[in-house]
Amino acid sequence: MAKETYAARCTANVLLTPRVYEAHLELVDPPRFAFKAGQFVTVPVAEGVLRSYSIASPPEDPAWLKLAVDIQPGGPGSRFFAELAPGQDLKFQGPYGAFVVRDDALPHLLFVGTGTGIAPLRSMILDLEKRGIAHRRITLFFGVRFADDLMYHDEFLALAAKYPATFTYIPTLSRPDGSHWPGETGRVTTVIPRLLKEADAEGTTAYLCGSKEMLKEVTEILVGMGMDRKQVKKEQFW
Ligand SMILES: Cc1cc2nc3c(=O)[nH]c(=O)nc-3n(C[C@H](O)[C@H](O)[C@H](O)COP(=O)(O)OP(=O)(O)OC[C@H]3O[C@@H](n4cnc5c(N)ncnc54)[C@H](O)[C@@H]3O)c2cc1C
């Protein structure tokens, strides 16, 4: 079913990494947009061309939202966001999607994101923090190619420092080439089996976001570790 169309104004469009723009959008008409952390919007990026983007910001203020857009794919969506300038108006529809943390999620929340697949996970994690995560255990695996692709890295490090007993952040680089990276290397599909204990699979609801291939491989790893397939929630970007 078609959702309401919103008019918004870009107030800033900043590079989070060398290839990912964060577009800050302020609602114009209607002036408020209600959504749940993890949902996405569709944006007409050219005549007759719609692209979907997860909301990267938490639903703390219905007057604005932020999108994190990788411009590497190079198609009409990438071009639209690479050229989006402060003051420019755009339209979007939404919110769409059931990729949200439901109240009946199990106590351990496992988040696995690759590339801009981190966007809805960031929204969920910041929203959970706001709602109080003391009773939750959260593990976040974030896979990118290079160190400078790690958007929101400082924010996740700060959360891990603030909640050392409950929030575990594991960034991993598949191409650490010469970056003196002290952390994990390899794709999430090799790091997860090594670092996630079988005991962790119990009582876990997982949220995976990224490519079709990653979603499929990580799902099989988690199910192989004893997780119920129904507890693996997925959002496929490409
Ligand atoms: C529910 C949903 C939410 C999404 N949220 C986001 C988001 O928050 N941020 C974001 O950057 N993208 C997101 N996407 C992807 C986005 O909708 C577009 O596919 C992307 O911007 C490419 O569009 P384009 O017109 O530039 O390229 P196109 O010409 O449409 O695509 C070029 C090729 O790139 C592939 N591709 C698309 N995205 C990527 C990617 N990130 N990395 C590698 N290959 C890719 C496509 O499958 C295609 O083969 C989401 C997709 C879906 C379905």
Calculate mean pLDDT across residues 194-212: 89
Q: For residue 171, say if its preceding peptide bond is cis, omega within 30 degrees of 0.
A: no
Say if ligand 1 is within 6 A of residue 117 CB. Answer: no
Smallest CA separation from ligand 1 atom 51, residue: 237
Domains and CATH numbers, the chain: 5-96 (2.40.30.10), 108-236 (3.40.50.80)
What is the best residue among 36, 45, 51, 121 to mutate for testing ligand 1's pocket, by most ligand atoms within 8 Å of CB? 51
Determine the pLDDT at residue 178: 76
- Contact residues for 80 (Cβ-Cβ < 8 A; gap 6+): 43, 45, 46, 51
pLDDT tens string 10-60: 999 999 999 999 999 999 999 999 999 999 999 999 999 999 999 999 999
- Whole-model pTM: value is 0.97
Q: Kindly tell me if the per-residue pLDDT of 1 is higher than 70.
A: no
